[in-house]
Amino acid sequence: MIIFLYGPDTYRSRQKLNEIIERYKKIRKSGLNLKYFLEPEMDFQTFLDEMKQTSMFQEKKLAVLVDIFSNPEFKKRFLEKGRDFLKSENIFLFYETNQIPEKDPLFLFLKKFAKVQEFKLLAGQKLKNRVKKEFLNYGIEIKEEALEKLISFVGNDLWQMSNEIKKLVCYRAPRQRGEGKEEIYLFAHRAPRQRGEVKEDKSSFSPFVATRVGVKENEVLFDHKKGVRIELEDVELLVKPKIETDIFQTIDAIAARNKKRALKFIKAHLEKGDSPFYLFSMINFQFRNLLIIKDLIERNLSPYSLSHLHPYVIKKSIPLLEKFSFSELKKIYQKIFQLDLDVKTGKIEPEMALDLLITELPSEAR
């Protein structure tokens, strides 16, 4: 069987890819026959030899071939043996994130013989329904006028939309503590064992899926009271039509602990009228990403297993991690969490919180 996933909406195509992989792993628990072929210049013979290896478990293999259309030699050799692959008991999953010429021979072959799913960018009511569903996954509703404003700001980039939704949920429905409910740990493997453990798939290192046992992602990220609703003013406060490049420069300067540069960017944002709440939420969000990515790397897991983050954001974050140990990142994130709480409870102004966060960072990187 051959499966072909492609299209400009890489967020939904990635979700579908993960769904197929997880379904395969659930049925074939050994995981030894799940193979990933990711190299742009991958040799066809290496791929062929890998697929010909006999499995001791006598089960179908799942081969995930990523962005293979940029490899002309591989495409040529695959097409030469195309009929053999169609007869095979194994599953060949082509996952393409780049634009494909309509007359590409491999594209025409897959369109004719494979199980094909194209992921076009959503628009109109389909996009609205998608965003509503994402909020409902967190047990939260969004007002119609707030939904329209959010879509007008973000558009159909579901990677950014997912991040904006999480940001709005964090702001409007922060985790409730001290109400007789057990604490839910963000990093399950560092919590006591009975709280839910992270299970590593040692049989096959997956760049897409990390298996978590006993803890659902939404329960880990957001443990909040239900019945909360996102209002128009929430969107106007926290979401910008475009996240300007200098916002990321500000976050990068903070991550690099260049206090002078970071304070300069913060001042420039405030002077042009950017909300201090927005700036603080962006800093909070980025450091949380750094902490999660660092955690995965230290456990020899791929950060690209994070389906809620765009690969570009992950790639951009990785170089910053060299400047921090895990414990340093954790302390900074705890500081941000406390300042965020102080701002929301009126103990401190957001502008002062930004200044305190930057000035209290260590002066030199590790």
| pLDDT tens, the chain, 366 aa long | 999 999 999 999 999 999 999 998 888 776 678 888 877 678 899 888 888 876 665 678 899 999 999 899 999 999 998 988 998 888 999 999 989 998 999 999 999 999 999 999 998 899 999 999 999 988 899 999 999 989 878 888 899 899 899 989 988 765 443 443 333 333 333 333 333 333 333 333 344 444 333 334 454 444 555 567 899 889 988 887 654 456 667 777 877 778 888 888 888 878 766 677 777 877 887 888 888 888 888 888 878 777 666 676 777 788 878 878 888 888 888 888 888 888 878 888 888 888 888 888 766 544
Lookup: tokens for 184? 């839910």
Label the pairing between strands 115-118 and 91-95. Answer: unpaired
Backbone angles phi, psi at 64, to 5 degrees: -100, 115
The strand pairing partners of 5, in sequence order, are 95, 117
Report the amino acid identity of residue 259. K
Lookup: tokens for 240? 């910008």
d(CA 111, CA 116): 6
Q: Are 62 and 35 in contact (CB under 8 A)?
A: yes
What is the reported pLDDT for 20? 93
Domains identified in the chain and CATH numbers: 2-118 (3.40.50.300), 243-366 (1.20.272.10)
What is the reported pLDDT for 134? 93
Q: Are 92 and 65 in contact (CB under 8 A)?
A: yes
- Of 279, 255, 281, give the one whose Cα is nearest residue 267: 279
Query: What are the DSSP calls for 239-289, one per residue?
Result: --SS--HHHHHHHHHHHTT-HHHHHHHHHHHHHTT--HHHHHHHHHHHHHH
- Of 124, 58, 64, give the one whose Cα is nearest residue 96: 64
Q: Count CA atoms within 13 Å of residue 47 on its CB side.
A: 24
What is the reported pLDDT for 57? 59
